[in-house]
Amino acid sequence: MKTLVIVESPSKAKTIEKYLGKDYHVISSKGHIRDLPPDELGVDIEASFEPKFTLMRGKEKVVQQIKEEARNKPVLLASDMDREGEAIAWHLAQILSLSDQETNRVLFSEITEKAIKAAIKRPLRINRSKVEAQFARRILDRLVGYQISPFLWKVIQVKSLSAGRVQSVALRFICDLEEKILTFVPEEYWKFKARFLCEKMQGELETALVSVDGVSLEKQPIRNVQDAMKIEEEILKSSFAVRSVEEKVINRKPPAPFITSTLQQEASNRLGFSVSRTMKVAQELYEGLETKDGPLAFITYMRTDSNRISEEALEAAKLYITEHFGESHSKTQRYGKNKANTQDAHEAIRPTYPDVDPQKAEKMLSADQAKLYRLIWSRFMASQMIPAVYRQTKIKIEDIEQGCYTFEAEGARCVEEGYEKVYPPTSKEKDLSVVPVAGTPASLSHFEKAQNFTTPPARFTEASLVKKLEKEGIGRPSTYASIIHTLLERHYAYREQKSLVPTFLGMIVNHFMSDFFPKIIQAKFTASMEENLDKVEEGEENWKEAIQRFYSDFEPTLLKLKEKTLTKSLNWLFSTNLPCKENEKHTLILKMGRFGPYLRCEACDKNYSISEKAKIIFRQNQAEIYGETVLENSKEVVAIGRACPKCGGDLVERQGRYGKFIACSNYPKCKYTENVDEKVAAKCPKCGADVVRKKSKRGRTFFACKNNAYNGGTCDFFSWYEPTEEKCPQCGQTMVLKKGRSGEESIVCESCARTTRIAKKTK
């Protein structure tokens, strides 16, 4: 009789079945099978928050197949090893009527033959504490989202809005930072640079003025041109000498191997990957790919907050480093738990086979997979190597007469690369390999002063937001990608280059939450709740008691808001700092309508739409609006620089009820319209310009270069299939994405018909 093994994903099922052989049959649940119902709260608050789990839509056939396959067979549950995976295992056990006392739970952090066979031999019981921790998170998120969102709809009147327990805190971080940027007042300061000729040094020594009369310019900057000119005058009259030369050797320790949050941050900083892109590619590397030597999984489980490395992996790293860099470069490092709540059954993110280096791997991987694998492999190997050794130098030069002006030059020279052989730093330091002798003269050869102004704080990137969330204890590594995705999908924020910028709507939603649910969006409160949920997972806290404590704080605010809504005393109107376009004596009022916020002049009876890129600061009942505010008696319009093919008028981009579209500016005389071209990720294989998704007159989708003749360009690239960033390993042509009738996606070369891999089935 075969043993049935149930995993989460179909691709993983194929790989594992090949490893286990003929005595096992491996099938997939395709993720979660049960959840709280989508059309009701699904939580009985009066019955101690008892959840009502129902079969998810579209999972009926999957569950039926699982039940049929499991009939009269022993069953092993091998879903992922995080909270979500444990909950999936519990739900599977429930639909299959498996006992809580059965040892049917299989855990592994890497998809290798050895790891899987070892896990199969040592099945465990389902971890009830971990399951209850997932219940608690899911119920809390439902209580907040399901009960706050209707008030958002009533007040802001946009049905697509939602509030979330963790997403609202992340939105607050972004909006608070934006307010600091908007209210930032630049301050003048002056910087001074000098170049000196010193004995025993070839060329000039570049320095910066760091102190005047013993006072650091960092602590007390020069704030005006008069003082700057006085300093310049005195320096040009002075003679200088080398006051001191300080040299010391410093060891730079190798970084720890990746956990989820650090991988997300480094992939963003070094590769330019978004958090969701990083997790998607990491999932592919973890689940395994078909290679000429059979299925191969490249990395360990990617949702982890543990730095632990198995002894087997440590030994494999040591062998590789010794063979390729010499035994002197190897230094075994054991990393323990980095937090009290870390699940140390997990390992750090590392290559499953350390001897498969990036050069070998890239022949089997797509471009994105190869980049991320190189990053993970390099970081892991670096963690097992000796420190990098630098000789750090600091040279101080002062005026001889009074010692009023101190200039400094700093640099560092690498003495031993150590781990940086495989994981080099992102920036290089100034090399001061030849230094002057203290007490010798220094001749001023060049001096310059420069006026500067302080700059506002930088906006969050995805990497820095993840770092902030982690530092504040908000959310957990596995949730960061979905938090950012939700903020972007709900149009609460948008990307501007690498920065995350709040939209006008996002700032209004944040003010709503601050106004009515201030405690919910407090970082300390949310972090405290996360700690309580971690205690539930560790078996130190009852999950229903943890929810009750939260709800005791939450319910009174909810009831007050409900009362205001019923009595219609909730009137969200704000006077603004903007004058009416028709009559500047009148100021506009910010109101909420069925399409969201808009501006109104009560005196002129005119309404004005607002750009989503406008910014707002609330001060009691006053709303100060900045930036790209659109004051037009119609929906927002943006000229696109093309003529209308019907009448020759200017084409503009408009915001309609169902999104953006292109129309003629001579409407209603001319009713020409067209869809807004949607840009795809890949660049044109012929000229490198953007590729856009378009529709033919018959409604069929096609892809064309934006630099085509229609837009005044010369490129003739055209394809019925979406081009990808992958190149065919056989002929070097750009590969395209094709979809079959059953929804399966494949990446294919149109020149030689080579198919490299099959993607997941589309929804």
Catalytic residue among 19, 286, 301, 373: 301
- 485 vs 35: CA distance, rounded Å: 21
Judge whether 183 and 502 are in contact, CB under 8 Å.
Answer: no
pLDDT value, residue 14 = 85
What are the pLDDT digits (tens) for 308-365? 999 999 999 999 999 999 999 999 999 865 444 444 457 999 999 999 999 999 999 9
What are the pLDDT digits (tens) for 350-380? 999 999 999 999 999 999 999 999 999 999 9
Strand partners, 426: none
Count H helices, E strands: the chain?
Answer: 17, 36
What are the pLDDT digits (tens) for 112-164? 999 999 999 999 999 999 999 999 999 999 999 999 988 888 888 777 788 88
The residue count of the chain comes to 763
What are the pLDDT digits (tens) for 417-471? 999 999 999 988 888 878 899 999 999 999 999 999 999 999 999 999 999 999 9
Residues 6+ apart with CB under 8 A from 156: 505, 508, 509, 512, 572, 592, 596, 597
| Average pLDDT of the residues in 745-755 | 75
SS3 content of the chain, % helix, strand, coil (to 5): 35, 30, 40
pLDDT classification of 300: cutoffs 50, 70, 90: very high
**Alpha carbon of 298 to those of 90, 261, 288, 313, 746: distances in Å?**
28, 19, 6, 13, 21
pLDDT classification of 762: cutoffs 50, 70, 90: very low
pLDDT exceeds cutoff 90 at 230:
yes
Residue 754, judged by CB atoms within 10 A of its CB (0-12, 13-18, 19+), counts as: middle
Among 239-253, 443-457, 586-600, where is mean pLDDT lowest?
Answer: 586-600
Strands (E), 644-689: 650-656, 659-664, 673-675, 678-683
In this predicted model, which residue has the larger pLDDT, 741 or 381?
A: 381
- 97 vs 104: CA distance, rounded Å: 12
Phi, psi torsion values for 436, nearest 5 degrees: -75, 175
Sign of CA dihedral 136, 138, 141, 147: negative
- Please choose, from the candidates 664, 646, 645, the residue with its C-alpha nearest in 3D space to the C-alpha of residue 654: 664
3-class DSSP assignment, residue 397: strand
What are the pLDDT digits (tens) for 512-567? 999 889 988 999 999 999 999 999 999 999 999 999 999 998 999 899 888 877 66
pLDDT classification of 759: cutoffs 50, 70, 90: very low
Judge whether 105 and 126 are in contact, CB under 8 Å.
Answer: yes
3-class DSSP assignment, residue 183: coil
The model's pTM: 0.78
Mapping DSSP onto H, E and C, the string for 64-102 reads: HHHHHHHCCCCEEECCCCCHHHHHHHHHHHHHCCCCCCC
- 220 vs 241: CA distance, rounded Å: 24
- Helix ranges restricted to H, 342-473: 358-361, 367-383, 462-472
Distance of CA 458 to the CA centre of its chain: 16
- 560 vs 571: CA distance, rounded Å: 14
Phi, psi torsion values for 58, nearest 5 degrees: 90, -5
- 348 vs 376: CA distance, rounded Å: 10
390 catalytic? Reply is: no
- Please choose, from the candidates 716, 519, 515, 699, the residue with its C-alpha nearest in 3D space to the C-alpha of residue 618: 515
pLDDT value, residue 23 = 94
Quickly tell me which residue has 């990053």 as its tokens: 375
pLDDT value, residue 757 = 54
- Kind plus residue range of the DSSP H or E element containing 144: helix 128-156
Average pLDDT, the chain: 88
Amino acid at 351: P
The share of the chain scoring above pLDDT 90, in percent, equals 61
pLDDT classification of 630: cutoffs 50, 70, 90: low
- Kind plus residue range of the DSSP H or E element containing 532: helix 523-537
3-class DSSP assignment, residue 304: coil
- Please choose, from the candidates 289, 361, 345, the residue with its C-alpha nearest in 3D space to the C-alpha of residue 9: 289
- 347 vs 304: CA distance, rounded Å: 7
- Please choose, from the candidates 478, 481, 485, 599, the residue with its C-alpha nearest in 3D space to the C-alpha of residue 533: 478
What are the pLDDT digits (tens) for 18-66? 899 899 999 999 999 999 998 899 999 999 999 999 999 889 999 999 9
pLDDT classification of 273: cutoffs 50, 70, 90: very high
| Average pLDDT of the residues in 59-74 | 94
What are the pLDDT digits (tens) for 706-732? 877 666 677 888 888 888 887 777 777
pLDDT exceeds cutoff 80 at 640:
no
| Average pLDDT of the residues in 579-606 | 84
pLDDT exceeds cutoff 90 at 585:
no
pLDDT exceeds cutoff 90 at 756:
no
In this predicted model, which residue has the larger pLDDT, 698 or 267?
A: 267
pLDDT exceeds cutoff 50 at 763:
no
Could you give all domains of the chain from N- to C-terminal order, each with its CATH number? 3-126 (3.40.50.140), 136-184+458-566 (1.10.460.10), 188-252+392-453 (2.70.20.10), 260-383 (1.10.290.10), 577-626 (no CATH), 637-759 (no CATH)
